[in-house]
Structure 1
Amino acid sequence: MAERTEQHRERAADGARIPTVIADDVHIIYKVNGGSRGKGSATAALNRMLRRKTAPGMREVHAVRGVTFVAYRGESIGLIGSNGSGKSTLLKAVAGLLPTARGKVYTDGQPSLLGVNAALMNDLTGERNVMLGGLAMGMTREQIRERYQDIVDFSGINEKGDFISLPMRTYSSGMAARLRFSIAAAKDHDVLMIDEALATGDRKFQKRSEARIRELRKEAGTVFLVSHNNKSIRDTCDRVLWLEKGELLMDGPTDEVIKAYERETGR
C-alpha cells in the first residue's frame, strides 16, 4: 500500500507550490515475446502484422501499477527500487515516450529525459554532437555557442587531450555519458529526468553533476533522478519515490524513505 503524504496535496491547494507533473493512477502495460517455438520467420511475422494478429507466445507485462504522485516546481525527486521495479518505465511515460494503459500523466512545460543509453551520433565529433544535442533540446545556435565552452569544460572531455574534436566512436562509455549529461544540463529545464547519469564517471564529475542539479532546482525546474547509488540520492534529492514490482510503496522525505528501503532490502 503506497504511503502518499497528504502534505503534497495540501500545499498545492493553498497555492504555496506549483505542480509540474501529475501522475494519476498510471498503469503501463507492454508486450514481450515469450520465447514461443512457433513460426518465427520474417515472412510469418509480416503476415501476422498484416492480419493484425498477436504473435504466438507474446505476453503482457504490467510494468507500472496504479502510480499516483504530484511533483512541484523546485523539487528534486529520487526514484529508487530494485531492478525491474518500473522506475525507468515511469520516467518514459512522464516524458511522453510511452503510452499509459490506464490513468493519465499531466505535465507543465516540456519534460526532458536524459539516460546513459540515449542515442549519440557516433560518426560525428563531440563538437557536432554538442550542437545537435542543444538544437534537439530547443536551444538556439547562439545559446549553444555561448554555452559551448562551459559544456566542454563541465564534461571534462578534454582533460586528457582534444577529444571534443574526435568522433564519438572513439569515446569510452563514461566519456560519452559525461558529455551527454553536460549537454542536457546546459539548458534550464521545466522538468529534467536523469536515468542513472550520475552512475558514470569519477567522484569529481559526480560532485559537479550534483551541484548542477541543485542549480537547476533553484532555477525553478523539477528534477527526477533514477539511481542505485543511495548517497547520490541523499546528496541531490529532497524527496524519494520507492517503487517495487511497478507499485509505489512509499513517497516522502529522502532520509525517511531511504532508511525504510535499506531496512527492507539490506542495501
Structure 2
Amino acid sequence: MDVIDQAVFLDGPPCVVIDSVKMTYKVPSSDERSVSARKGLKGKLRRLFRMQNLVSVNALKEISLVVERGESVGIIGRNGSGKSTMMKLISGQAAPTEGAVYASSTPILLGVNAALVPDLSGDQNVVLGCLAMGMDMAQIDAQFDSIVELSGLESAIYLPMKSYSSGMASRLRFAIAAAVNPEILLVDEALNTGDAQFSNRSKARMDELRAQAGCVFIVSHSLETIRTMCSRVIWLDKGELIMDGSPEETTRLYQEFSTNLSRGNNFSAARIRNEARANLVATQVLERASGRRTEGR
C-alpha cells in the first residue's frame, strides 16, 4: 500500500486512488479437457498422480477509481463479482497483479471474520482489538464506554464472545474498528444485523468519520443499507466495473438486473448490465476529454 504524495493533487489529495488495477488468481482445477492435461508425457503424469491443472481466474478486470474525502462508497454485486477482493486490495491485505492502489493513510478493514477471540469476553476483546490497532491503554480506557454504547451490548459486553449472536459480534467488531477514528474505514458485510437502532448508530458514526474528511467503503448485500449509508455506489459483476453512480439509480438498476436473473430472464438481465456498462464507458470518455480527474483512466 503506497501513501499518496501530498504534492500530486494540489487541491487536496483524495483518500483512495485505484489505478488500472487487475487481480488474477492461479487456482487448481480438476478439469482434464485442456490439451496439456490429456496429451503427452505431462498429461500422462498428471493423470497418474492425479495432479490438478492451475487455471487463471480474473477476480478483477482493469478498474480505476478516485474516492474523495467525505465520500461513503457502497460496493454491490453478485457473489464472485470481486467485492471482497477489492476490499483486500484497498486495505493492503493483497497486492494487485497489475496496477496500484494508493491511500492517504492506513485503511482499517472491518469484516465479519475480524480476528477476535471467541473464548474471551466482549470487554477483553475490546482491549485486544484496540491494542491491535495501535491504541494504548489510556486511549482504550477513554474510548471504552463509547465502544460499548455504539455496540449496544450493554451488560453482555462481559459475557464470552462465543455466546454472542452473529449480529452482536458484528456490532462489537464495528464499534472497535470505529474507535480509532480511521481516515479510511472498510466495512465488509458487517452491518447486516437486522438491528434498526444499531443501523442508526452506525450511520451516525460513519457520518462523523466522513465529516472528519475521511471516507468509508461498504460491501453489503442489503441494498437498503447501501442506499441509507452511502453517497456513491459502484456495481461490480464478474470482476468488471459496471456502474458508478448515485445510490438510488445504481441500486435500482442492480435490483432490476438481479430480479430478471432470478426469473430466468437472462436476455433482459444482460441488456440492463450492458447498457449500464456502456453508459459508464461513455461517461469516462467524456471526462477524459474534458481533462478532469475522473474515476476511470
Whichever of the two has the greater Rg, that structure is 2
Q: Report the Cα distance in structure 2 between the residues aligned to 1:247 and 1:69, rounded to whole angstroms.
A: 12
Matched, 1:72 2:65: no
Write out per-residue CA displacement over residues 78-122 of structure 1, whole angstroms, 9 at most, x where no aligned residue.
101111110111010111111111111111101111011212111
Which residue of structure 2 aligns with residue 213 of structure 1?
206
What TM-score do you get using the length of structure 2 for normalisation? 0.74
CA drift of 1:35 comes to 4.3
Which residue of structure 2 aligns with residue 134 of structure 1?
130
CA drift of 1:164 comes to 1.9
Q: Which has the higher contact order (CA 8 A, sep 6+)?
A: 1
Write out per-residue CA displacement over residues 182-228 of structure 1, whole angstroms, 9 at most, x where no aligned residue.
11112211110001111124122112111211111111111000111
State the one-letter code of the partner of 1:240. Answer: V
- Superposition CA RMSD, Å: 2.0
Q: Report the Cα distance in structure 1 between the residues aligned to 2:210 and 2:19, rounded to whole angstroms.
A: 24
Matched, 1:59 2:55: yes
CA drift of 1:178 comes to 1.0
How many percent of aligned residue pairs carry the same amino acid?
A: 48
Q: Report the Cα distance in structure 2 between the residues aligned to 1:119 and 1:58, rounded to whole angstroms.
A: 30
Structure 1, 250-259 or 177-186: larger mean CA deviation? 250-259
Do the aligned partners of residues 13 and 130 (structure 1) sit closer, same or farther apart at CA in structure 2, a change above 3 Å counting?
closer
Matched, 1:164 2:161: no
Write out per-residue CA displacement over residues 155-174 of structure 1, whole angstroms, 9 at most, x where no aligned residue.
1212xxx3222222222222
Tell whether the 8 Å contact from 2:234 to 2:244 is kept in structure 1 after alignment: yes
Q: Report the Cα distance in structure 2 between the residues aligned to 1:63 and 1:27, rounded to whole angstroms.
A: 8
Q: Report the Cα distance in structure 2 between the residues aligned to 1:200 and 1:119, rounded to whole angstroms.
A: 19
Matched, 1:27 2:27: no
State the one-letter code of the partner of 2:17. Answer: I
Tell whether the 8 Å contact from 1:151 to 1:183 is kept in structure 2 after alignment: yes
Tell whether the 8 Å contact from 1:175 to 1:201 is kept in structure 2 after alignment: no
2:117 to 97, 121, 124: 121
Write out per-residue CA displacement over residues 103-155 of structure 1, whole angstroms, 9 at most, x where no aligned residue.
11111101111011212111222111101111212222211111101111221
Tell whether the 8 Å contact from 2:21 to 2:61 is kept in structure 1 after alignment: yes
Match runs of 1:65-214 below 5 Å: 65-158=61-154, 162-214=155-207
Moved over 3 A (4+): none
Aligned residues: 235
1:250 to 231, 243, 263: 243
Unaligned stretches of 5+ residues in structure 1? 1-11, 38-54
Write out per-residue CA displacement over residues 23-69 of structure 1, whole angstroms, 9 at most, x where no aligned residue.
111111123332479xxxxxxxxxxxxxxxxx623322110110110
Q: Report the Cα distance in structure 1 between the residues aligned to 2:145 and 2:53, rounded to whole angstroms.
A: 52
